[in-house]
Structure 1
């Protein structure tokens, strides 16, 4: 079965539907970008995948031994989170929290996982620094390392390059693509259509419901993409 299977999923807040009758499958190794206007249900859908919100109708099922507490998540950052007064090492290691369970301390194995992800993300020189003193790009690398500590299979990323300059944005996209090539399934919410079709293998275009789901090259040829980009589908 698929890594994630959404069947007729509907979600909402009080009297407002944010996600309506959404169905799609994500396979192991996919790189999926979720795009759409503000208020189209993208972030709400991520909350459903993470178990932070329950669907009002439909089902979200996981395959290949995946559980919700084995998903790595990089949320949109708030001003308060950017000012978090912990060391880089502490932030990354906290990604092992679900692995630790009720034990009071992290195990040597969990510390090795954190160290390996710090090296993978190229932030070894920052481990003793305070997270709040880092640049935006460095903070995103730290949060990506933290998310990887929670998973070997699936990363959910909510607008990971917001507020970053073009060079740092390009570096972060390249890092995410490399992680995907190494076998991590990527599901990323993005407002940047051009970068989405360049990097992702599949596009899920939402407007509370699904307007398009399929390969990026097919999306470029679709009416929904042409309408969004004003006829300039290749940017």
Structure 2
């Protein structure tokens, strides 16, 4: 699949012309429709989910992932990464999905480290998600994390920039779907009907969006200039910037 970890190994994250056409056909139309529909949806969801009844894995690998994220020194991305974890929890709760919370948390914490804190040793990567995935894999290896779980974390990070993933495709793990949907919700506000206003307000009280939009737009611009044939660059030309601007929350 374009964007997954296997594809990254083959391409370093650089889209070919054929890749771009394929993504425009299979991803852009569904993602645009999801975005437009989200602007007309009205949430009538009733849920008892609150921050207090969410379990946050307290393992050595999670602690190191938290440390890796905090070392970026970007308050906006640190808060964004935590929000994505909690949005994912809510989406899974609403859809009644079962998932590995530790795996999903690691992916949430690590998914943007390559965007906000690019390292020279990953110069060959042509997409920030590939760098983020490689850095997460190194962390997993240091903790003897199971290979299939490491693969899942890596795929989730690599695929979150696809803009759309088919949740009816049973080959795609729930953790991968959750990261893509949670990041899309935080950045452009898709699927707001899956999250209650009370829960939304509670998460923002703990992890506010202060200056996030401006900071994220700057990061996207830098990524587009650094990697002009990445998915980020393609999405930017196809409306990501406009979607970011139109998302008011």
Return the TM-score normalized by structure 1: 0.28
Higher strand fraction: Structure 1 or Structure 2?
A: 1
Higher RCO, Cα 8 Å, sep 6+: 2
Larger Rg over CA atoms: 1
